Chain A
Amino acid sequence: MTMNNANLSIEQIDALQEIVNIAMGQAGDSLARVLNSFVRLSVPRIRLINSAQASQCIAEIVGDTQQITAVRQSFYNKLCGEALTLFSSEGCRDLATLMGHQTLDTETEKELLFDISNILVGACLNGIAEQLGADLSFSAPSLMASNVVSSQLLSPDTLPWAYALQVEVNFSLEQHKFKSHLIIMLAEDAITALADSLNYFIEAI
């Protein structure tokens, strides 16, 4: 399969966008309960990227001079790929304060970021899988990079596929600097399975 015929139809993208929207709403609600704050949600963005572009896409999403910390979780079964949760370094400090930590050692910060990643990735992926009637499992979070410049997070060989369907959702808090970008990359081989599931979903409406 090439990148060109991996394109989803406008109707399929619209359905996926709405599915992600609902899943993101559930993730936002979970995050709001943990942080006891109102979470602002962005409109999900869906696009097809090749692995060479991936790094530039990340820089574009978070700002290219931004220092970020990234947590990675893989998901597998019929739908497979990688979910990255990105935090700005500034946002990490803010998160610590929000969670009631005066000072934060590296280990505690890591645990905190893993918790947030688990909440967002879990709610989003489960929400998407549930609506599409697909089974899905995901790995425990691992620290991908700590305080790196966003454009250096991914190199083409970090990703084991030529291209992927990228879904991006942003969570931010009012009156706080905390902001998190959730990036779900569906591997090229799973795009056909996704398209089939979307067709079932659309037919059922």
Chain B
Amino acid sequence: MATPVLVVDDSGMSRKLVIKSLPADWNVEIHQASNGQEALALYREGKAHVIFLDLTMPVMDGFEVLEALKREGFNAFVIVISADVQPKAQERVKELGAMAFLKKPVKADEVLHVLKEHGLL
């Protein structure tokens, strides 16, 4: 069965880059959201086993998404992909339950490494 993957970023180009960086042989069903609110709605519909999450977004940012996920039982693997590269931002998202932090622009080998490391491939 295909893994439901949710790509969350306010930039369409950035979502495209993330999708392109996913391993070609990974059987996935891709969903997209352009802000945190849309992302949570899709998560609640079960469309997010793995979430690629941007931090700086309008309406609801990535930190708020992680907080909401925490309140709702956190039934997903979250990989934060962000341009906010402050060590504190990285620490914070890990504390909030994110599995990994990758810097933008994202690289395919880094995504592959994280997925393998956490047994998702």
Contacts and interface: CB of A to CB of B under 8 A. Distances in A.
Interface of A: 11, 14-15, 17-18, 21-22, 24-26, 28-29, 32, 38-39, 41-43, 202, 205
A28 B86 contact: yes
A29 B84 CA distance: 7
A29 B105 contact: no
Contact of B58 (A11, A32, A43, A205): A43
Contacts of A17: 11
B56 A41 contact: yes
26 contacts: A14-B12, A14-B13, A15-B13, A18-B11, A18-B14, A21-B14, A21-B104, A25-B56, A25-B83, A25-B85, A26-B83, A26-B85, A28-B85, A29-B85, A29-B86, A32-B88, A38-B86, A38-B89, A39-B86, A42-B56, A43-B10, A43-B57, A43-B58, A202-B13, A205-B13, A205-B20
Contacts of B32: none
Label chain A's interface by main secondary structure.
helix
A41 B84 contact: yes
Contact of B83 (A21, A38, A42): A21
Interface in B80-109: 82-89, 92, 104-105
Contacts of A39: 86
Given A29-B85, A39-B86, A202-B13, 6 more contacts: A18-B13, A18-B104, A25-B56, A25-B104, A28-B85, A38-B86
Chain B, interface size category, equals 20 to 34
Contacts of B10: 43
A5 to B, nearest CB: 23
A25 B88 contact: no
Interface of B: 10-14, 16-17, 20, 56-58, 82-89, 92, 104-105
Nearest to A17: B11
Contacts of B20: 205
Nearest to B16: A205
Nearest to B104: A22
Contacts of A41: 56, 83-84
A46 B105 CA distance: 20
A167 B90 CA distance: 26
Nearest to B20: A205
A15 B105 CA distance: 12
B19 to A, nearest CB: 11
Contacts of B14: 18, 21
A186 to B, nearest CB: 19
Nearest to B14: A18
